[in-house]
Amino acid sequence: MFNRKMLRLGEERSAIRELYEYGLARKKIVGEENVFDFSIGNPSAPPPACLTETLRRLIDEVPPELLHGYTSAPGAYDVREAVANYIRTQFGVPMSATLVYMTCGASASLMCTFQAILSEGEGEEVLVPAPFFPEYSVFVAQAGGVLVPVPTDARFHLDLAAIARAITPKTRVVLLNSPNNPTGAVYAKEELAALGQLLRKASAERRSPIFLVADEPYRELTYGEAPVYPMSVYENTVVCYSFSKSMTLAGERIGYVAVSPRCEGADELFSAVCGAGRALGFVCAPALFQKTVKHCLGAPAPVEVYRANRDLLYASLSDMGYTCSVPEGAFYLFMQALEPDARAFCERAKAFELLLVPSDSFGVGGYVRISYCVARSVIERSLPAFRALMESYRGARKN
């Protein structure tokens, strides 16, 4: 009676959201402090002071009917100018306000971009290094495309040979997420430059561009040197950004799409993004937060809070005998499950009130994602549970 795909998506929910809801329910039963919810990437560190100060100031100074009214569909022009200026000065690439489209967050950025580039019923392909954020499958399918996972190397960095092999005449997009959810990998300048070369060559051979879509909500959350800006290594690039993680406002739905002026057909692509925003029902990005982020561009992200969490969690879990990759950015730790079936491992972890996301929905088996954007005390209190979980496997092996 209803749309079957939507019904299925609504009934399954994402594995992450499912676990998050389980956690909310479980906390009511055993107490908030006894559940170690590492399920969702809901930032816990206070946002930059600028955020709350700007919110207060705007509410005090701007008449509400102006503050909360519609902006132009692609965003208030002064906000788009500020974002373009930030991209130019921060990353040293050309950018124009006319190619910045303010969105309702990263998912909206991605949906508008996919819907703009992909045409339905053509089987157009979006390559993505695996593991990858599970909603990518949903968004690409909704936009009429096909998501094609490509393996990564042992450190979850790009396997260029695998990407080269995966390119077909149907490939329209390579989708990158660095810093990466779920692995914490941050792609190095050299590997991105090599990817740029590869895509440039492939595009020339096919005489039609392959677009690099960079999903960058974690850009400011890195623990080493600042990651390279993808537009500086490849011309046909679209950056999908969200302020959710850097400014701790994941619930406010504010981000942008920036189309590189060097992109083939940049103006047309931008128009198609606008058309997609219109067709999908976005109207405009939330007005108050458009105006707020304008004044907070470049405000320092709370990266030190997450670095301290990472250091504690990585060292503790490694000490206990777990095998983890060192997160270079974002706030996820990717850890090997203690049995081949990650789902079974996560089910067992639940008995210790540990909420971990199995890697299966990220496109690989045998791992779990641990979101460590939680209060430090949650990590500290969770350590005995991780130890007990490990013991439960050792005990099982002895038997």
**Cβ proximity to a second copy, 273 vs 335, nearer residue:** 273
Kindly tell me which residue out of 19, 104, 173, 337 binds a second copy, with binding defined by CB under 8 A. 104
Residue 272 binding a second copy, by CB under 8 A: yes
Q: Beta-carbon neighbour count of residue 11 at 10 Å?
A: 7
Q: Which stretch binds a second copy (CB under 8 A): 64-72, 155-163, 197-205, 346-354?
A: 64-72
Among 135, 153, 159, 341, binds a second copy (CB under 8 A): 135
Contact 110, 138 (CB under 8 A): no
Q: Where are the alpha helices (DSSP H) in the chain?
A: 4-12, 15-30, 49-61, 64-67, 77-91, 106-117, 135-142, 160-166, 189-206, 266-280, 287-294, 303-320, 342-350, 376-398
Rounded CA gap, 56 and 394, in Å? 54
Q: Which is nearer to a second copy, 221 or 324 (CB)?
A: 221
| Minimum distance from residue 355 beta carbon to a second copy (Å) | 15
Give yes or no for residue 29 binding a second copy (CB under 8 A): no
The answer to whether the beta carbons of residues 394 and 359 sit under 8 Å apart is no
Place of tokens 């623990």: 223
Q: Nearest approach, Cβ of 209 to a second copy (angstroms)?
A: 8
Q: Applying CB under 8 A, does 20 fall inside the site for a second copy?
A: yes
x/- track of binding to a second copy for residues 66-95 (CB under 8 A) = --xxxxxx----------------------
Nearer to a second copy, 225 or 304 (CB): 304
Strand 146-150 and strand 125-129: pairing? Answer: parallel
Establish if 45 lies at the interface with a second copy (CB under 8 A). yes
- Examine residue 168 and tell whether it contacts a second copy (CB under 8 A): no
Q: Pick the closer one to a second copy by CB: 155 or 278.
A: 278
Q: Which distant-in-sequence residues (6+ apart) come within 8 Å of 60 by Cβ?
A: none
- Residues 216 and 133: their CA atoms lie apart, in Å, by 12
Contact letters for a second copy, residues 199-238 (x by CB under 8 A): ---------xx-----------------------------
Q: Shortest CA distance to 337 belongs to which of 312, 356, 362?
A: 356
Binding segment for a second copy (CB under 8 A), chosen from 90-98, 138-146, 178-186, 214-222, is 138-146
Q: How many CA atoms lie within 13 A of 187 on its CB side?
A: 28
